[in-house]
Structure formats: C-alpha cells, structure tokens
Structure 1
Amino acid sequence: MSSVVRPDLPDVAHQSVPLARALDWVGMDNIALPVRIPDGAGGYVQVAANIDLAVNLTRPEERGIHMSRLYLQLQDGLARETITPAGLRKLLQEGIDSQSGIADAARLVVRYEALLQRRALESGFAGWKKYPVEIEAVLREGHLHLALGFAVEYSSTCPASAALSRQANAERFAEDFAAARPLSVNAVRDWLASERGMAATPHAQRSTARVRVELKPQFDELPLVALIDALETALATPVQTAVKRVDEQAFARLNAENLMFCEDAARRVASVLANDPRIARYDATVSHYESLHPHDAVARVSGVNA
C-alpha cells in the first residue's frame, strides 16, 4: 500500500489536551465495507456490512487516536480475513497495533443480513430468507469476547382466540344440527367443509424473536446457522418463502398445533439457548405484532449458562 506524506501539512492531533483524561472508546461507526462470511463448505461469501470500530485511548496526554490508520487497517484486514473468531481476533489486534502504544483494547461490531435458503414444508420448493445479524467482538488484555445477535421471524396464533373460535364453531354446529336425526359422518364432514363450518377463526400474526448470545471462548466458531435452525425448530412456525397450496395447508396445521402467547414463545427460545454448550449468556425478546390490538405483545428472557 502506497502513501503520500506531506510534512508541511498541519497536524493538530499532537497539540496540548484540554481536560486531559483517558477515554473508553474512540473510533468510527457505520463504516460501509464488504466482509467475508464462511459459507459452511470451506469457502466464504462476500456481503455488504455496516461496521463500528474503536480502540481505547490509554494516555490522557494524547489528544486523539490515529483514525485514518485504524480505517485503512480495517479495510485491508477485511480484504484478507473471514469473519470467524480467529479472523476477528487478528483484525482487533491489528487495530491496537496501528495506534503506536496509545491503545490496548479494541472493539468491532459487524452488521449484515444473512441470506439462507429454506425449503417449503411439503412441495419441495425452496426460497431465500434474510436474517439480520450483529457480531460484537472485543479484545482486551489478550482475551477475545464475542457476542452474536440475530432475529428470527415466525407466525404466532393466539391460544385465547383459538379457544373462543372453537366455542363459536361448536355453538353453530349445535344450532345447525339440533334437529338432525340420525347424524351422519358425511353430513358433518360436508358441513365442516362449508362456509357454515367456520364460525370464527383465531387471530395470528407475524412475530419476531431477537436474540443476543455471549459465546464461550473455547469454541472457535460463530454458530449462526445452527442457532437459527434450532430456534426455528423450537418455535415450529417459521415464516415461509416459496409455497404452494400444500405448503400453506401444512403451515396452517403447524399453527394449530403450536398455539402461542408471547410468553410461550419466549420459553421455547430460552429452552434452546439455555441448553447450548457454546453460550455463556443469552438475552432474547419476542414480539408478537398483534392483529387484534394496535400494540405489540412482548416478552423478554435472559439467563447465564454454567
């Protein structure tokens, strides 16, 4: 990398410091750069990312950090390194080293959208679904601290609304068949398949589980896809992409089999995160974007794993 140095250009970074003190973090937020993400098959995919990068300023007498060095180091490093624990450690150490002894810790936050292909429930079709991801890495005193955040969308059908709908359906059945003698299976089946056979439907809504986990240091991986898969399995009704009618019917059945208040969904999420050996601590928020109310139903859960 070539550079041009103009010794005649003013540099106020070395002027005296008013109110001198050390600073926790100094750097840049919302840097737009491409990053390399492991593809699970030994290679990588390149995606657009939004990045925060900072170092601490340990010397009170120093007015500021070497900001341009930090940016250029990050840009060059991301062209070489993949977003793995080992790659993140190297990027952070290079950021510290670029500061000529005035920093001893660094923090990096990477935000991007992961695109995962998801198969339909019955038809065999597949489509792409996006998951917002945030990775936070801090290197301090040689120790790397990693946190992984992401969101999963799913459908939630209200148990209370389902119970009320069943009652309305039962009352209409009793009304329509009060005088029917004898009561044949075919007559009941035809009634259930007709518009009269559905007096009410439970309300359902698209919902989101937002998760942040702090990872244990002995695991040299970012288990994004594994955690998404586990949470979608636990919630049982992840939103679909490419669907035919057979898939839509299967999705409706799954919703009927997995009636959920937001509290139920939060417990399902916690059951996955609390039993994952890679996770040291977790925080999750589930939001059900109510179709009945103009407000959302929200539950939060957190925990520390042994």
Structure 2
Amino acid sequence: MTRNKPFIPVYPALSRTYPSDFKVDEQYRASLPDLQNGPASLIVGARKVIQHVGISHFRLPIRYRRQDGGEIMLETSVTGTVSLDADRKGINMSRIMRSFYAHAEKQFSLGVLAAAVSDYKDHLDSFDARLQMRLSYPIQVESLRSGLSGWQYYDIAMELIDQGGQRLKVMHFDYVYSSTCPCSLELSEHARESRSQLATPHSQRSIARISAVMEGEEKLWFEDMVALCRRAVATETQVMVKREDEQAFAELNAANPIFVEDAVRAFAHELELEPRVGDFRVIASHQESLHSHDAVSLLTEGPTFAQVSLDPMTFAGLRA
C-alpha cells in the first residue's frame, strides 16, 4: 500500500526587513505596474462614462485674504474630481493632489483655483473637472449691547466647475440664526392679553445654506455674504452674551418673527439685489423646539440648481 506524502509548501526566500536604504531610479519606476492606466479589457462592469471620480476630504492649510487686507491661514478640506471616458480603466488619483499642492502655497483666489483645475484636468486627460474647498471662516462680531466681542465661524465651500468648456464659480455659505414662530408669538400675546397668562413663543436655532453662482470680475467676499444674510434675517446667533445682550436678543427675535417660507424668500430678495450673484439656491431648516421634526424649505433661481429629485440628505445635512 502506497501512502501519499504530505504536501510541504515551499516558500520563496523573501526578505522580511523593510529596506529603508532602497532608492528608486527611473528604470525601476518605469517597471512598476499601473493597472489604472491599463487597457479597456480590464474594465469591470458597464463601459460607461463616469461623471465624477477623484478624491474627497484631503486636508491642508491654505492662506485666505480678508476683506480688510489681512490674511489668515485655515485648514481646508479639498475634493477634486474629473470625468472618465467609457473606454478608460481609471485615473491616477495622486495627480489631483500633486496638481493642487503645486498651487497650495499661493494666497487663495479663484484664479489659483482655476489654475489647479486646469493642471489636473490636463494631467489626467479629462474633459470635465471639479474642485471644491471647504473651510470654517472666523469673523469677529460684537455683542448686541454689552460691548463684548467674540469669533463667529462660518462654514463655507468654494467650488469651481469646468464642464463642456464652460467654467462656473460657486460659493456655498451656511448661516445660523434664531427663528421665532410668528404664530406662536401671536398665541403667546393672546394668552397674556385675554387671560393674564404668562406664555412664551417657541424659537429655535435654524440654518440656511446659500449656494450662489459668482458672476463678473468684482470679488464677492465672505464678509459680503455675511452682511447679505444679516440684512435678510437679522437674528444671527450670538457669541458673547451678558444679561443685557440676552434681553436685546429676545427683543430682536420679537421684532423679526419668521416662518421658514419667509426665510428663504428674504434671502432670495437680497441675492437678487446683489449684481455679483447669478443663479442661486437657498435651503433653510428650522429645527423646531415645538415639534419633533424640522420645518424645511428650498428655493432656487435659474437652471444651475434646478432639480426634480432631492438627495435624501438634502435637509438632514443641515445641522445648526
């Protein structure tokens, strides 16, 4: 009887020590496999054009110019994408980062953003490209009556879209405010007048996200957008508050009660008056203290932001 010999695997004699002194030369680099630039036969699934492929949320410090002439360095989250032809396997995503880093030391401007988009569009041989930079921009604001001041932070995204040979510049701006319900205010006053019953109207922290296409050569500063929002809805949340400020804020809310429908129309009115703004979209969410749900509204002007279907996170993504 013949017994089968046990299988004994043979392992190659590979080094298990990291070669910290190994240097890459051009010949070695040329020998490295590059699957993303491989033939179309390597494509998995349907051979379709991909509208956006790239990287999201890579962070680096960027210098921004202030309206008063100063500048500030802020952590910035960058998303960069390009289109991909149906017969191409993929892209070299590190080229997006390398293209952006080539301009990262410059003071931010839309011109720098445009140059970065042009570079990685050329490097990746794509017909469309998009670059978005997200940041939190601080502005010092004074209290209503006490003379104190503090830093208010505004979540902003700057987006440059290169599509079909046309370029679009968009600012996305979040504005946080207090909304006092006009109906609740009237009901509270009715209780006081008719029954001498103390009652308070409900109000809540609310947020509007304004997306605006920037037009013309004149710069639309972040500070300009803050001023525009304050003209539309005066009840911006406060930073530094003493008792006299809290009383003033109660008076300010009583003077400016607002439904969510009123809010988007008020922002739209100010945006229509601004010559540096073209198409726009306003999304507002009043995160109700009365209800266990939010009151929301969306208003668009022009074809840029018009849409039939809404992303399921359109309103859920607005948290004040």
* TM-score scaled by length of structure 2: 0.79
Deviation, 1:257, is 0.7
**Structure with the greater relative contact order (CA < 8 A, sep ≥ 6): 1 or 2?**
1
Counterpart CA distance in 1 for 2:87 and 2:256 is: 61
Aligned CA distance change for structure 1 residues 297 and 25 (closer, same or farther; 3 Å): closer
Where does residue 304 of structure 1 map in the other structure?
Answer: 302
Query: 1:83 is matched by which residue type in structure 2?
Result: F
Where does residue 181 of structure 1 map in the other structure?
Answer: none
**Stretch moving more, 67-76 or 253-262:** 67-76
Where does residue 257 of structure 1 map in the other structure?
Answer: 255
Q: Please state whether the residue corresponding to 1:229 is helix, strand or coil.
A: helix
Contact 2:49 2:84 in 1 (8 A): yes
Alignment pair present for 1:65 and 2:91: yes
Counterpart CA distance in 1 for 2:157 and 2:87 is: 34
Contact 2:160 2:167 in 1 (8 A): yes
Sequence identity (%):
33
Contact 1:107 1:139 in 2 (8 A): yes
Aligned CA distance change for structure 1 residues 66 and 43 (closer, same or farther; 3 Å): farther
Contact 2:152 2:239 in 1 (8 A): yes
Q: Please state whether the residue corresponding to 2:31 is helix, strand or coil.
A: coil
Q: Please state whether the residue corresponding to 2:78 is helix, strand or coil.
A: strand
Structure with the higher helix share, 1 or 2: 1
Counterpart CA distance in 2 for 1:210 and 1:14 is: 39
Query: 2:225 is matched by which residue type in structure 1?
Result: L
Aligned CA distance change for structure 1 residues 200 and 277 (closer, same or farther; 3 Å): same
Question: Pairwise mapping of residues 114-263 of structure 1 onto structure 2 (< 5 A)?
Answer: 114-140=137-163, 143-173=166-196, 199-216=198-215, 218-263=216-261
Q: Deviations over 1:69-120 (max 9, x none)?
A: 222121222122x332211111111212323xx2243210111111111111
Deviation beyond 4 Å, 4+ runs, structure 1: 19-22
Contact 2:179 2:258 in 1 (8 A): yes
Where does residue 187 of structure 1 map in the other structure?
Answer: none
Deviation, 1:15, is 2.6
> What 5-or-longer segments of structure 1 have no aligned partner?
174-197
Contact 1:14 1:62 in 2 (8 A): yes
Q: Please state whether the residue corresponding to 1:270 is helix, strand or coil.
A: helix
Alignment pair present for 1:87 and 2:112: yes
Contact 1:85 1:222 in 2 (8 A): no
